[in-house]
Amino acid sequence: MSAFQPAIAIHGGAGNLARYAGTGRIEEAETFLSTLIDHLHAMLVKGASAVDAVTDAVVQLEDAGLFHAGKGSSPGSKGYVELDASIMEGRFGEAGAIAMVRNVKNPIQLARVIMDRTPLVMLAGPEAEELAAEHGLPLVGPDYFVPCTQVGAAISDEQDSRRGTVGAVARDARGTFAAATSTGGVLNKIAGRIGDAPIIGAGTFARNGVGAVSCTGVGEYFIRQAAAYQVIARMELLGESVGAAAGTVMQRINDDHGNGGIIALGPRGEVAMPFNTTGMYRAAIDAWGKRTVGVL
Ligand code: ASP
């Protein structure tokens, strides 16, 4: 019997997803998320670490081509994709992040290399790409990326096609928390623009004994609210439940006229997944085995 029951939550971005009702795209995403969440939970039950579970989750979400991250990323203002990602483990507060990489198939694996194999927390641009090559990570050319707005039913919707991210939060059987986030950012973003996804404390945070958080939405609002850390701090310092903490931060972003969503785990493996858009691709299994899969 494990000391802790595992818990896991994943997201594939928040947006005006109600536009996809009736196109088959919501069902396609739900089927994908449903299979993935069961696989990740089984990994954790078998003893996988939280950081391996969130890495695997994000790799699969990046490869799916259904979300604006990894394969599904959209090009920015200069016609090429720039990818951002970050990962954090809650035991010692170790973290890794990368920004503005163009040719790395799985940005989250490069963030993991930064965390595990270097003394750095964040590396950007060509030097980050060189590190990926040095560590033998798969590299891809521009043709690899198929913006997810082109996959399946073609729906042109400015709000929805502008952004997207994937992320995961987990607690393993040893009680360690981890969080990971990866994004192609926003469509037509100005080259060099960096959102919240690779910023520890904005898009991603994990702390043992407290919880783990991954955010999605218009990154500038999440950076200004220190959103991921604020959820953790509200639980740790104010004693708020994960639902209250994540809900308050989402409300503050809403009050600022920002939008998006948050997935978060609380200290006992409780799950909260608030969003203020018409949908967020999401799935979770909490510490009591309660399973949630949803889009709208
Ligand atoms: N947060 C991401 C960014 O601002 C985009 C998103 O999550 O939709 O780059």
Tell me whether residue 68 is in a domain.
yes
Query: Can 165 be counted among the known catalytic residues?
Result: yes
The region of weakest confidence among 9-23, 42-56, 147-161 is 147-161
**What's the CATH number where 162 sits?**
3.60.20.30
| Tally of structural domains, the chain | 1
CA distance 200 to 122: 9
Residue of the CA atom closest to atom 8 of ligand 1:
164
- Atom number in ligand 1 closest to CA 162: 8
Verify whether ligand 1 is closer than 6 Å to residue 279 (CB atom). Answer: no
**Domain coverage including residue 199:** 7-294
Is residue 199 predicted with pLDDT exceeding 90?
yes
| Average confidence (pLDDT) over 1-16 | 90
pLDDT of residue 186: 78
Q: Would you report the helix, strand and coil content of the chain in percent, each value rounded to 5?
A: 35, 25, 40
pLDDT of residue 160: 47
Residue of the CA atom closest to atom 7 of ligand 1:
216
Distances in Å between the alpha carbon of 102 and those of 71, 132, 270? 11, 11, 36
Q: Kindly report, residue by residue over 107-137, the tens digit of the pLDDT.
A: 999 999 999 999 999 999 999 999 999 999 9
Answer whether 0.85 is exceeded by the pTM.
yes
Verify whether ligand 1 is closer than 6 Å to residue 12 (CB atom). Answer: no
Please report, rounded to a whole number, the percentage of residues in the chain having pLDDT higher than 70: 94
- From the list 23, 31, 35, 165, the catalytic residue is 165
Residue 64 structure tokens:
């799916």
With cut-offs at 50, 70 and 90, classify the pLDDT of residue 163.
low
| H-assigned helices in the chain | 25-45, 50-64, 107-117, 125-134, 158-161, 219-224, 227-238, 242-255
With cut-offs at 50, 70 and 90, classify the pLDDT of residue 258.
very high
The region of weakest confidence among 21-25, 59-63, 80-84 is 21-25
pLDDT of residue 148: 75
Q: Kindly report, residue by residue over 200-238, the tens digit of the pLDDT.
A: 999 999 999 999 999 999 999 999 999 999 999 999 999
Tell me whether residue 260 is in a domain.
yes
Verify whether ligand 1 is closer than 6 Å to residue 186 (CB atom). Answer: yes
pLDDT of residue 187: 73
pLDDT of residue 161: 46
With cut-offs at 50, 70 and 90, classify the pLDDT of residue 188.
confident
Verify whether ligand 1 is closer than 6 Å to residue 259 (CB atom). Answer: no
Tell me whether residue 2 is in a domain.
no
Q: Are 33 and 282 a contacting pair, CB within 8 Å?
A: yes
Tell me whether residue 1 is in a domain.
no
Q: What are phi and psi of 163, to 5 degrees?
A: -160, 175
Q: What are phi and psi of 132, to 5 degrees?
A: -60, -45
- In the block, tokens 């890794």 appear at 96
Higher pLDDT, 188 or 173: 173
- Cα of 292 vs centre of ligand 1, distance in Å, is 23
With cut-offs at 50, 70 and 90, classify the pLDDT of residue 152.
very low
Helices 107-117 + 50-64 axis angle, to 10: 150
